[in-house]
Chain A
Amino acid sequence: MAAHLSVTVNGTVREADVEPRRLLVQLIREDFDLTGTHVGCDTSQCGACTVHVDGKAVKSCTMLAVQADGSDVTTIEGMASAEGLHPLQTAFWEHHGLQCGFCTPGMIMTAAALLASNPDPTDDEIRHAIAGNFCRCTGYQNIVIAIRAAAAAMRAGSTAGAAS
């Protein structure tokens, strides 16, 4: 029994007919061909599949596609804009916040949700926020540095925006 659903993905309304058992991450990767969202553990541990559903970071391997019907979904592909990379993407690049890069999309989505609610987190708050995202390369230190740098850049950007 296929279910019809409509999801706004990165600002664009997308529709699909899916089996109820289709996972959100499969909808994103296989039906919508947005393969920046990764499947790491597939058991809700590693966070590589993290996306935003209605502004909240969720593990898309542990949510049914039908549960996202009518929702606003943002994936890593929705982070950069016409002006260029998102400040988090730039900071991960500049501060060597990735090595193999597999965890990076999920890491950035979790970090983006953190910074939306806490624009100036401490290192402890950053580490607590990304506890559900595993990186097996970096030892996390440069990821924390990158998120801290992105937070500073975004605060400076919003201040500049407010002044102009």
Chain B
Amino acid sequence: MIPAAFDYVRATSLDDALARLAADDGAKVIAGGQSILPLMKLRLARPETLVDIGRLTELQGVRRLPDGRVAVGALTTYAAMIADPILGHYGLLRDALPNIGDTQVRNRGTIGGAIAHADPASDMPAILLALDAEVVARSATAERTIPITSFFEGAFDSALRPGEIITEIRLPGGRDDVGSAYSAIEQPASGYSIAGVAAVIGARSGDRWGLCAVGVTGVGEHPYRATAVEQAIRGGASVADAATHATDGITVASDIHADREYRTHVAAVQVRRALEAAAARLG
């Protein structure tokens, strides 16, 4: 399979890339290419110009911000994230990252590309939702911060505007009184999640959890926060009872791999497992 013809420019800097995007409505960004190249080979995507940002070192790597939060450069690959000592403190990342894609895909695929692609069954969106991450996006004229909870708008559709490039993803710094975990059931051939759940739980006071955040992927039209589960947990419900609310208010997807009834069931199972594993990490 061969992509439709396009013009190619290798950006020399982020500003160069943004200027080229601003000047060309038919331009798309390529980084690791693990999402856009398969689409182009199937000719589901036919950009007139590809702006290659893959070599912009300014968008690579993980650093701690002065306020204690952690910034992950948009071009940081899955393989680099796995090897990063700061990200190694996040239980849900330790669970999820080694099972995203495969060795070769993790060597090329980037965190920014993954969320810009906004695949409804991708793992990283659920993780970033549970972490209450922020997405920093820049255009030729402005920079803005998008809360992850308002980033995913539909299948393969995000709040990112034409001309914008994701520059980094900001995560909250680790807390000793919070545990996190990721649990998923995957479609074996593709590896994409039928139901993938990221859970963050902590700040326990008496018999109540003060903090609970649950991100779900593969289940709805786009990755979402299971707010009904979170409210139940904070209200004192057991994990098993709270998990029954996994798909409240969600139009559950149905396909040849998992019909609606089955997917609804496994979503609740994965919510329970993720919450139990997150709580167990608190010791």
Contacts and interface: CB of A to CB of B under 8 A. Distances in A.
Interface of A: 1, 3, 19-21, 23, 42-45, 47, 50, 56-59, 62-64, 66-67, 69, 110, 113-114, 128-133
Given A58-B108, A64-B8, A66-B10, A42 B1 contact: yes
Contacts of B38: 43-44, 62
Given A44-B38, A64-B33, A21 B104 contact: no
A26 B52 CA distance: 19
Given A20-B50, A42-B1, A58-B104, A63 B7 contact: no
Nearest to B191: A131
B183 interface: no
Contact of B2 (A23, A45, A128): A23
Nearest to A132: B102
Given A21-B3, A43-B1, A67-B52, A59 B33 contact: no
Nearest to B106: A132
A44 B34 contact: yes
Given A20-B50, A67-B33, A62 B1 contact: no
A69 B101 CA distance: 25
A59 B106 CA distance: 11
Contacts of B101: 132
Contacts of A113: 103
Interface of B: 1-8, 10, 30, 33-34, 37-38, 40-41, 50, 52, 54, 79, 98, 101-105, 107-108, 189
B168 to A, nearest CB: 22
B102 A21 contact: no
Nearest to A70: B55
B6 A20 contact: yes
B7 A20 contact: yes
B107 A58 contact: yes
The 3 closest A-B pairs by CB, nearest first: A132-B102, A20-B8, A56-B107
B-side interface mostly: mixed
Given A63-B37, A63-B108, A3 B8 contact: yes
A67 B50 CA distance: 11
A56 B79 contact: yes
A114 B107 CA distance: 12
B7 A21 contact: no
A129 B98 CA distance: 10
B8 A110 contact: no
Contacts of A58: 104, 107-108
A63 B34 CA distance: 8
A59 B32 CA distance: 11
Given A56-B79, A57-B107, A128 B3 contact: no
Given A43-B38, A67-B54, A132-B103, A62 B33 contact: yes
Contact of B5 (A19, A23, A59): A19
Contacts of A56: 79, 107
A110 B107 CA distance: 11
B94 to A, nearest CB: 14
Nearest to A110: B103
Contact of A1 (B4, B7, B103, B104): B7
B5 A63 contact: no
Nearest to A63: B33
A21 B33 contact: no
B21 to A, nearest CB: 17
Contacts of B98: 128
Nearest to B101: A132
B103 A43 contact: no
A35 B32 CA distance: 24
A21 B4 CA distance: 7
Contacts of B2: 21, 23
Nearest to A106: B104
B96 to A, nearest CB: 14
B59 to A, nearest CB: 16
B102 A62 contact: no
Contacts of B102: 47, 131-133
Nearest to A114: B103
A148 B144 CA distance: 50
